[in-house]
A and B are shown apart, each in its own frame.
Chain A
Amino acid sequence: MAESNTEQIEQVITDALVTFGAEESAITRDAELEALDVDSLDLAELSQIIEERFGVELTSSDVAEIKTVGDAIDLVAARTQ
């Protein structure tokens, strides 16, 4: 498992969302994924990236709980503790 901290997680998730087409300036902890036009296919891709980088496997029910960027960061941070 890669060494990780919240900042790293935030950066990886932000980079992924930008790759998916979200505006970087709109990506904040409180931003809702739906408002960033992030859909189920993006979330599947995000899960792959998170597993690759942090060794954290997110199930579909985990992903279903993620509403905001902060939710995603916190979930991954909690799993990497």
Chain B
Amino acid sequence: MNEVVVTGLGAVTPLGLGAAALHERWAAGVCGIEDGEGRCDEFQATDHFSVKEARRADRFSQLVLVASAEALADAGWVDGLPYDPRRIGAIIGTGIGGIGTIEANDQMLIEHGPKRVSPLAVPLMMGNAGAAAVSMRHGLKGPSYGVVSACAAGTHAIGSAMRAIQYGDATAVVAGGTEAALTPLSRAAFVAVDALSPSGISRPFDVRRDGFVMGEGAAALVLENGAVARARGARILAVLRGYGATSDAFHITAPPADGEGAAAAIVRALEDADVEASDVVYVNAHGTSTQINDRAETVALKTALGEHAAKVPISSTKSAIGHLLGAAGAVEAVATILALRARLLPPTLGLEQPDPELDLDYVPQVARPLELAQNQRAIAISNSFGFGGHNAVLCLEAT
């Protein structure tokens, strides 16, 4: 099978525009959450789009368009595409899709009747709109589609893209995740299911954690066939070593206490990467700051990594930006690669009072240098688990 490498990164997050802002500000201990939500305040549609482009894309598509443009430029795709466009795909995950568009049109329907629902409603709200937007913007004519698996969607999208390249369906894929669900209906719905933090504080693994803080944003990664990318002289940021995906088949919103499905996904990702648990030098946790996730994830890590679980540093990006739902996995893959490359592990912010039941090394509050022995490889896993019992894990090695 073809090797899959990462050559470009892009992100729009509550920590700012750009992948570098995500890593640098998180590592510096900056939290992008304000008033209980992680908004992308630095993102202004008018800075990036014409009037027509902006009104033809829901915010969730706009965010991934900006992230993917950054990723393509980062990959050196500045003077056109490096391969036949039919060999380049776009696979973009989202939890919900264009919910802002859905809500606005529902309001029109209720207030003014069906004839006032916009012809743009369907093309803006559909869950594959982000993938379609990226494909059209850059002329990518290979496989493109959306991936929908709640909070695991970004990771599933990257995993699916990895398989497409490994199998030869594409030479390169722009893969990522995006979400723009800071809307009245979405907030109310997550409150109703008792998932959101009443305190508005994201503090994964802390004993006081009381739910997740919702955020918005997007990330994109340019993935390429390794041999082909090297032949064109591409700068290789990381190798996508492994991917594991499983399901809990347990409950629509809760993992089993033993984290069995999550553990199986981690084990599968390591097998797929052909690495041992002891090779893992960093874990980017799903770490939502809900009671149940952080407990089950801790158990899953112990099951999957064995004794090594107690030695490996673990941190949660959600402590700095909140939970970006379907974008989370992609944003966290970007954060993981940058952490490995910088040899600097950003911390779990807000973790001040450890939960006695959660006894792993969650890198509380302050970033930590990643020290590698000679010839030790910079290998990490990034976990994502979604409502529906969807588990997806990536194994990445920075070069």
Query: Using a CB–CB distance below 8 Å, which chain A residues touch chain B?
Result: 19-21, 37, 41, 44-45, 48, 51-52
Across the interface, name the chain A residue whose C-beta is closest to B117: A48
Assess whether B50 is interfacial by the CB under 8 Å rule: yes
Chain B residues, Cβ within 8 Å of A44: 119
Other than A21-B53, A45-B119, give 12 A-B pairs with Cβ distance below 8 A.
Answer: A19-B51, A20-B51, A21-B51, A37-B52, A41-B56, A41-B119, A41-B120, A44-B119, A45-B118, A45-B120, A48-B115, A52-B115
Closest Cβ of chain B to A6, distance in Å, is 25
B55 on interface, CB distance cutoff 8 Å: yes
Interface string of B57-83 (1 = CB under 8 A from A): 000000000000000000000000000
Tell me if A21 and B55 are in contact (CB < 8 A): yes
Chain A contacts for B55, CB-based, 8 A: 19-21
**CB-defined A-B contacts under 8 Å, sample of 14:** A19-B51, A19-B55, A20-B55, A21-B51, A37-B52, A41-B119, A44-B119, A45-B118, A45-B119, A45-B120, A48-B115, A48-B118, A48-B119, A52-B116
How many B residues, CB 8 Å from partner? 12
Is B36 at the interface (CB under 8 A from chain A)? no
Contacts of A37 in B (CB 8 A): 52
Chain B 101-124 against A: per-residue CB contact (8 Å), 1 yes, 0 no?
A: 000000000000001101110010
Q: State the B residues within 8 Å of A (CB).
A: 50-53, 55-56, 115-116, 118-120, 123
Docked-complex contact B118 and A51, CB < 8 angstroms: no
Interface of chain A: mostly helix, strand, loop or mixed: helix
- Chain A residue at minimum C-beta to C-beta distance from B119: A44
| Residues of B with C-beta under 8 A to A51 | 115
Closest beta carbon of chain B to A42's beta carbon, Å: 8
Closest Cβ–Cβ distance, residue A15 to chain B (whole Å): 13
Given contacts A41-B123, A45-B120, contact A21 B115 (CB under 8 A): no
Residue of B nearest to A40 (CB): B119
Q: Shortest beta-carbon distance, B244 to chain A, in Å?
A: 41
| Distance between Cα atoms of A19 and B336 in the complex (Å) | 42
Sorted from nearest, which 3 A-B pairs have the closest CB atoms? Answer: A21-B52, A44-B119, A21-B51
- Chain A residue contacts of B123, Cβ below 8 A: 41
Complex Cα distance A19/B56, Å?
A: 12
Q: What residues of A have a CB within 8 angstroms of the CB of B51 in the complex? A: 19-21
